[in-house]
Amino acid sequence: MSTEDVLIGAIDQGTSSTRFIIYDGSARPIASHQVEFTQFYPQAGWVEHDPMEIMESVKVCIAKAVDKATADGFNVDKNLKAIGLTNQRETTLVWSKSNGAPLYNAIVWMDARTTAICSRLEKELTGGKRHFVESCGLPISSYFSALKLLWLIENVDAVREAVKEKDAMFGTIDTWLIWQLTGGLKGGLHVTDVSNASRTMLMNLKTLDWDESTLKELGIPAEILPKIVSNAEVIGNIAGGWPLAGVPIAGCLGDQHAAMLGQACSRGEAKSTYGTGAFILMNTGDEIVKSTHGLLTTVAFKLGKEAKATYALEGSVAIAGAAVQWLRDSVGMISSSKEIEELASQVESSQGVYFVPAFNGLFAPYWREDARGVCIGITRFTTKAHIARAVLECIAFQVKDVLDAMHKDAGKVESNEFLLRVDGGATVNNLLMQIQADLTGNPVIRPADIETTARGAAFAAGLAIGVFKEDYIFDSKDKMKDAIVFRPVMTKEVRTKKVESWSKAVTRSYDLADLAI
């Protein structure tokens, strides 16, 4: 198939916004549109989204991006051959099979309401927090979808009744959107992909299917779960009533897996995506590496029905860019996120101020759901510029902690620990990237196109229909010649002292949560 005129679309459904990007046959973006949607905080530690609002945001983004591409002279109706989808991962919802309506808002991945359920399971199950690690690679944590589903069944009458009456459909956001895009009540497909399924706690990493023993132990009926497919295959066509009706959905990946593909990470290479949270993944090839340093074992991607699965080690940081948003929206210290770079640049260091953004606990490698945010080291000399710099540093410190654990776990996997590939919206902050290089002591590489998540979804869809080949995708790192490299300038002595102080600050955040939430 000639790629000269071919166009590929990518739906990028994130935590705070939705985008649709159209790429040409060389994976260059030619048009896009983005829409933010509402964040709901019903109680402390709770975060929800309206599934219907998310669906509408997708529809608007597709239509607007198509209009822009058409206005620029591209024949989208003729040449757009496939769509890939990437999404916020563990965010969980249940809807009615009979009327298609959500039975409750989507519970967002960072939501901490399942803390009590986690504590209960850790006490009841023989393996405690690591009871399911052997099958799914994940510890018991409020992070993952299975616990959110249990909360819905136990606390929402409509969900409990629908499950009892076999009228419930469970899914993450990819599942909800694909069901809607392929027809909804009129034949919509109930599917998920291996990368999203690997984040539920319910999929067996070896069989790549739902784990029967886990479902039995948690009391989750298999009939409410979607079918698991690969990341690069034709799933179904977009139904009438949607823009681009008839175009096949040919790729689906969780956002961090898509970013890995978009960054062309081969075995032993790592990337960090900076968005609401920060997510660091290292490709471990076809080897399932079990972590002993607080990381997760997950599927990286499976690029075709018959393809072998590629696995990864992952460290997830719950609060990265969200800490900057907090400074803007809750504290009012800045009026826009981009202002933090200028403010933090007014000082050369945080002068001993450390900020730990444990708003809903800490994820990898600490896994402390009892942690809450702290800001320490404050003196009369402290200004808002020092606090702003400490907020940027906390993002980089958390990423460094994950990378350190990752290289300890990688063992015989040959890892390239001398560079870190970065992407995501927060990487436009040059000061943050320099701080990251200084704290890791290694170069940080930022590609010219930082939206690698959507690019990865486009790669998967193009691979499924023959527009791209794997060799082309993984050689695409050579096309990153315009990447910017941030090199460390901090001395080892200063770095060591700052890391020690950061570690002390992290421990100060422990045991501060009200576990009754």
Interior/surface letters 132-149, b for 16+ CB within 10 angstroms, e for the rest: bbebbbbbbbbbbbbbbb
DSSP letter (8 states) at residue 27: S
**Cβ(361)–Cβ(318) below 8 Å:** yes
Domain boundaries, the chain: 7-263+450-468, 316-446+479-508
Residues near 28 by beta carbon (within 8 Å), at least 6 away in sequence: none
Interior angle at CA 293, CA 289 and CA 295, nearest 5? 60
Identity of residue 384:
K
- Is 171:93 a contact under the CB 8 Å cutoff? yes
How far lies 150's CA from each of 52, 118, 120, in Å? 22, 10, 12
- Least Cα distance to 312 among 291, 302, 297 occurs for 297
Can you read off the two tokens belonging to residue 233?
A: 């295959």
324, amino acid identity:
V
DSSP secondary structure, 207-271, as one string: T-SB-HHHHHHHT--GGGSPEEE-SEEEEEEPPTTSTTTT-EEEEEEEHHHHHHHHTT--TT-EE
Residue 289 is given by DSSP the state: P
- Between CA 212 and CA 362 the distance in angstroms is 30
- In a structure prediction context, what are the per-residue pLDDT tens digits for the chain, which is 517 residues long? 446 689 999 999 999 899 999 999 888 999 999 999 999 999 988 999 999 999 999 999 999 999 999 999 999 999 999 999 999 999 999 999 999 999 999 999 989 899 999 999 999 999 898 999 999 999 999 989 999 999 999 999 999 999 999 999 999 999 999 999 999 999 999 999 999 999 999 999 999 999 999 999 999 999 999 999 999 999 999 999 999 999 999 999 999 999 999 988 888 888 999 988 899 999 999 989 988 888 989 999 999 999 999 999 999 898 999 999 999 999 999 999 899 999 999 999 999 999 999 998 898 899 888 899 999 999 999 999 999 999 999 999 999 999 999 888 877 555 555 678 999 889 999 999 999 999 999 999 998 888 889 999 999 999 999 999 998 888 866 666 688 999 999 999 999 999 999 999 999 999 998 744 4
Structure-token pair, residue 417: 């620990």
Using CB atoms within 10 Å of the CB of residue 190, give its burial: 0 to 12 exposed, 13 to 18 middle, 19+ buried.
middle
Task: Give the whole-angstrom CA distance, residue 473 versus residue 460.
Answer: 9
Pairing relation of β-strands 278-285 and 296-301? Answer: unpaired
pLDDT at 269: 87
In this structure, are residues 429 and 459 in contact, taking their beta carbons and an 8 Å threshold?
no
Do 460 and 232 meet the contact criterion of CB atoms below 8 Å apart?
yes
- Gyration radius from the chain CA atoms: 22
First CA to last CA distance, the chain = 55
* Tokens 């690997």 found at: 198
Write down the pLDDT at residue 277.
87
**What is the 8-class DSSP label of residue 91?**
-
* Cα dihedral: 477, 481, 486, 491 (round 10): 80
| Main-chain phi, psi angles of 455, to 5 degrees | -60, -40
3-class DSSP state of 21: strand
Inter-CA distances, 260 with 6, 20, 256, 307, 378, Å = 23, 19, 6, 17, 38
Compute the C-alpha angle 482/488/491, nearest 5°: 170
CA-wise closest residue to 48 among 36, 38, 57: 38
Rounded Cα distance, 297 and 316, in Å: 11
In sequence order, the 6+-apart residues with CB closer than 8 A to the CB of 482 are 447, 448
For domain 316-446+479-508, give the CATH number: 3.30.420.40
Give the CATH number of domain 7-263+450-468; options: 3.40.50.720, 3.30.420.40, 3.40.630.10, 3.40.190.10.
3.30.420.40
Instruction: Quote the CA–CA distance of 11 and 18 in Å, as a whole number.
Output: 7
Q: Confirm whether pTM is higher than 0.85.
A: yes
Identical topology for domains 7-263+450-468 and 316-446+479-508: yes
Model pLDDT, residue 413:
57
pLDDT score, position 415: 53
> Quick one: tokens of 387?
């606090």
What HEC string does 375-392 produce? EECCCCCCCHHHHHHHHH
Give the 3-state secondary structure of 153-200: HHHCHHHHHHHHCCCEEEEEHHHHHHHHHCCCCCCCCCEEEHHHHCCC
